Chain A
């Protein structure tokens, strides 16, 4: 079978329709497991008490916010270089979910920061660059919708996503480069500084969010395909 078989919107529409419910189901199962491990099994933290449990959504959401931007920029680069319609539609479909996770990361960070740092918001490098990421997502969505011709919006937004990619290493390394309030990563490959059940809960939640993101992106790309291809014969025949 040809690799590019699924690159045509009509075949991808059907494929996405089959895959999306499975992604949501996997996300629900992993999410339930992650919440059980995180909220019931994981012990209370010695220093922070119960409030550390925000970590089970905060860290996976922050990971997803950066990862989704990266994937979006890759689709953008693909759509610019090969001029493929589907890649541009995937980039457009990922943006709202990425913005949602960026918002969740900022929001949960605020409600975790209040009891531990004493402030909902501090102007630290990581927080600021995450806020810039949120505005990059908003800019991407707004620029994509600002033109009469959707293809024009696709390409302008893809280029913007590529320019904004510079922000990702700044967010990721901000806690290493600057001495900031935000603590460094507590997960590393050489053994972690956390309890096993905490790590399990966090990874389960991360995979749940990941699966959810694929599900929403596929569901959204189906709607985008329907709107764009509404005058074609195969859509009329649905």
Chain B
């Protein structure tokens, strides 16, 4: 629930980019003959609303209503006291503070005699919001508009690409705060990494650690992480201006193992530069580590942002093909087994 730096900067997220996204969505809404589109947001599922507004509620929840034409309205249960603050960090549309956002939109839609409302990820809409909406507008049909949103969102635009690359850059730089030889306890590594990232104005960061890669690859939070072993992995998931990246690196205090990890890092980096979205991702990743005697790929997964989740599972072990759109701006994680040891690498796929 902790939140770091918030701030809208027109050079990073031009108003025109947000307006163009809204227009794309509104064209789809009109084509489907919907009376509007409703998107839910909270800190666990902020991505769709922040894609359209640049804003993530630091607490509580909200709904963004995108009409077939005209500016969207954002209604939130955050109180009126912070409305001015929200306006300072959110460039688009109006902000309505109300304890019952869904009721507000429901009443409006009932007055306008609306028939069909598209809802992103309808099944995941909190039941309380859905009940308030349908009580206020009993004849309103709620239609799942997840596919519509994903189509309209499409490939990342320049602004999103730049923010994603910036998030990835901060993540990479923050790992320099970790000095494996100087770390006895996991807490120290996690705190140092987090501070480095927050000093670079990240909005949020979650750090987890797999403290002993000779034992297992389970990532733990700071409250469960004991002393680190000779070989460990750290994962940082962070948001810069509501755009998320994730990075994992493996470390070792043993010189031979560290050299081996460096070789895995190099192979992974090399593979990332030549991934072909038209071919089996799994086969390409297996091939990337084939040159390391005794080592083999054990797990992989690809995440990306396409709806309300900041990073959503797109594909993983056993799924051979992933489309080009999913690869662009995705985050790829691989795990390699080498005897009794594991190495884990995870990199945002550089976009643009």
The answer to whether A and B belong to the same complex is no
* B contacts, CB < 8 Å to A: none
